[in-house]
A = this chain, B = another copy of it.
Amino acid sequence: MSEHDLVTRLRNGERRALARAISLVEQGGPPARAILAAAYPYAQAHRVGITGPPGAGKSTLVTALALEWRKRGVPVGIVAVDPSSPFSGGAVLGDRIRMQALGGDPGVFIRSMANRGRMGGLARATADAVTLIAAAGFPLVLIETVGAGQDEVDIAQAADTTIVVEVPGMGDDVQSIKAGMLEIADVFVVNKADRPGVEQTVRQLRTMLQLGGTSQEGWSPPVLTAIATTGEGCDQIVDAVERHRQFLTTTDLQARRALAAAERELSAAVHELILERLRGPRWAAFISEIASRRRDPYAAAIALLNGAAE
């Protein structure tokens, strides 16, 4: 089957074609690029990032939010970005197991990402999977990321709406994450709202948002509460995301975010293609010279890009 046929099939709703396309794209190379090129014109979807510290119950919340959108008749794609080993390539199954509540619903497509093992690789692979799921006709894609590193910020920046999940009464180091997450959050959710300290956490978040000023240009991120295990609060969260989606269309924010996302995608595509062209015997020789500190990386890169003998 050609790459073009595969994209035609996934656009016609064939789940196996979608799953196969994502796997092929993860492997990279010319087939991956052909698939993405064929899918790209149709990849319109609202991307919702869900991020926050470990233990915040993100997977459970994603499941509960997906059920709420399904109640409203909206097909939902889910991409779970699992922590995984850079050496084994293995992915933790926990999230997928928790998401079995959604299993068997043809209006739901779930993909758990394995690690591509390169710098920026996970953000890249995630963006590609979302592109294909969007092209398959899912108007909404939820992207769950674990932890709070640079990669999470990259993935959150690629989302149209970002939900940051907190829980009541975590340690004071969480304050620093909140600071890093303040500007990327469009909606705050304090999950596990049946635990003590929820009012205090809500109050702290609201204070921090006020101190941070209105960096969101007209959008005040709401601070909502939820009990993801029972679904409590999920209708308000879905309402808030829909309000934010509306808000984006009334400003030039959406256009600017799309340009920034396009630049990241172009930058990543350039990187992938140039590495493919440069890898070879000279590349290998330069690597050993860099490792033994006989040549610095920039001098090697300039020599490779100029194609010169030195």
Contacts and interface: CB of A to CB of B under 8 A. Distances in A.
Interface stretch (A39-47, A101-109, A224-232, A242-250): A39-47
Given A33-B298, A176-B82, A269-B297, A123 B146 contact: no
Given A85-B183, A179-B83, A173 B262 contact: no
A45 to B, nearest CB: 12
Given A36-B298, A85-B180, A157-B86, A262 B291 contact: yes
Interface string A260-271: 011111111111
Contacts of A83: 148, 176-177, 179-181
A90 B213 CA distance: 14
A208 interface: no
Interface in A197-230: 215
Contact of A119 (B56, B147, B154, B215): B154
Interface residues of A, number: 95
A174 B86 contact: no
Contacts of A283: 266
A253 interface: no
Contacts of A41: 293-294, 296
Contact of A149 (B148, B262, B277): B148
A119 B270 contact: no
A122 interface: yes
9 contacts: A37-B298, A54-B173, A83-B148, A86-B153, A146-B176, A150-B151, A262-B287, A269-B301, A277-B305
Given A149-B150, A270-B278, A273-B301, 15 more contacts: A37-B296, A43-B293, A54-B171, A54-B174, A55-B173, A57-B173, A88-B183, A92-B176, A118-B267, A146-B149, A147-B148, A150-B150, A151-B151, A262-B290, A266-B287
